[in-house]
Structure 1
Amino acid sequence: MPKTKEISEDPRLRIVDLHIAGKGYKSISKSLDVHHSTVRQIVYKWRKFSTDATLPRSGRPAKMTSRAQRRMLNKVKKNLRVLAEDLNISLEHPNISVDESTIRKTLNKNGVHGRTPRKKPPTVQIKTLLHV
């Protein structure tokens, strides 16, 4: 399921106020131009936690910032054969220490996959064979 932007606090307050006033999910969604399942989730959260503020999420926060990811992707675009070890060394400069597997996972998420170049015979040997 794709991630979408979060609804700000003001529309969430309006949704809760309209729900308290006795309006249904569909009428609230039509009046505020928000999907009815979003309205239902906001009302459910308000009932369960007695708040409409954004609560902290579970899970470990990402270690790499989006800026570090962009910097790493730009280095890979310049040199496709750069190693994960070299990228890790370049990322340690701004006090980010991540594992090489994290770097590979980040590259894979952004569509950069590891490839092994095709083995080709050396051109020097072919030329010597042709001149003989």
Structure 2
Amino acid sequence: MGSRKEQPKDLPNKVMELCKYGKVYKKISKALQMPVSTVQSLIKKWKTQGSLDPKPRSGRPRNISAKTARRIVRDTKENPQVTSGEIQAALEKDSVVVSRSTIRQYLNRNELLGQVARKKPLLCQCHKKAWLQYDRQHLDLPHIFWHTNLE
């Protein structure tokens, strides 16, 4: 059984108007340029259900609201180093219970996966002294030396 397309909102109403005026299926289908079977199914649905509104979709409801999902993304963009555990703790303060894996899924959907800041080299005092000593030793060398060795 194939999937079906959902009709535009105004089309079923037009079908029902023409049906109420006493038009036959074939004339309705020609007037609206749609298959007779679609006209038949729309009228049958209206007679059995009383309305042409689409039924709610089946499936598991979302864990968090759209507002909370936007907040997760916004917090991560503001601070890329924040972990899913820290986001979870911040949400728990506002009484929103979400697992870390759910937070990561929302970040993955928004292409914010693996947000880690670039690491800065940890230089101690001896490293800085060695750097300065190197600079002083090679101070008299031409400008080309610095561009070839340091790039």
TM category, shorter: 0.5 to 0.7
TM-score by length of 1: 0.64
3-state DSSP class of the match of 1:14?
helix
Flag the 1:117–1:45 CA change in 2: closer, same or farther, 3 A. farther
What is the identity, as a one-letter code, of the residue corresponding to 1:54?
A: P
3-state DSSP class of the match of 1:92?
helix
Q: Deviations over 1:6-38 (max 9, x none)?
A: 954x643323444774222x7425xxxxxx69x
Q: Which residue of 2 aligns with 1:101?
A: 101
Q: CA deviation at 1:71?
A: 1.6
Q: Which residue of 2 aligns with 1:32?
A: none
State which of 27, 32, 41 in structure 2 corresponds to 1:28: 32
Matched positions, count: 117
Flag the 1:44–1:63 CA change in 2: closer, same or farther, 3 A. farther
- The CA RMSD over aligned residues, in Å, is 3.4
Within 1, Cα distance between the matches of 2:104 and 2:42? 37
Of 80-89 and 92-101, more deviation after overlay is shown by: 92-101
Within 1, Cα distance between the matches of 2:43 and 2:109? 34
Structure showing greater radius of gyration is: 2
Flag the 1:7–1:126 CA change in 2: closer, same or farther, 3 A. farther
TM-score by length of 2: 0.58
Mapped contact 2:85–2:100 kept (Cα < 8 A): yes
Q: Deviations over 1:52-101 (max 9, x none)?
A: 12212110111111111122222112111111011112222343211111
Gaps in structure 2 of 5+ consecutive residues: 1-6, 134-151
Q: Which residue of 1 aligns with 2:130?
A: 129
Q: Which residue of 2 aligns with 1:79?
A: 79
Gaps in structure 1 of 5+ consecutive residues: 1-5, 30-35
Within 2, Cα distance between the matches of 1:71 and 1:129? 46
3-state DSSP class of the match of 1:123?
coil
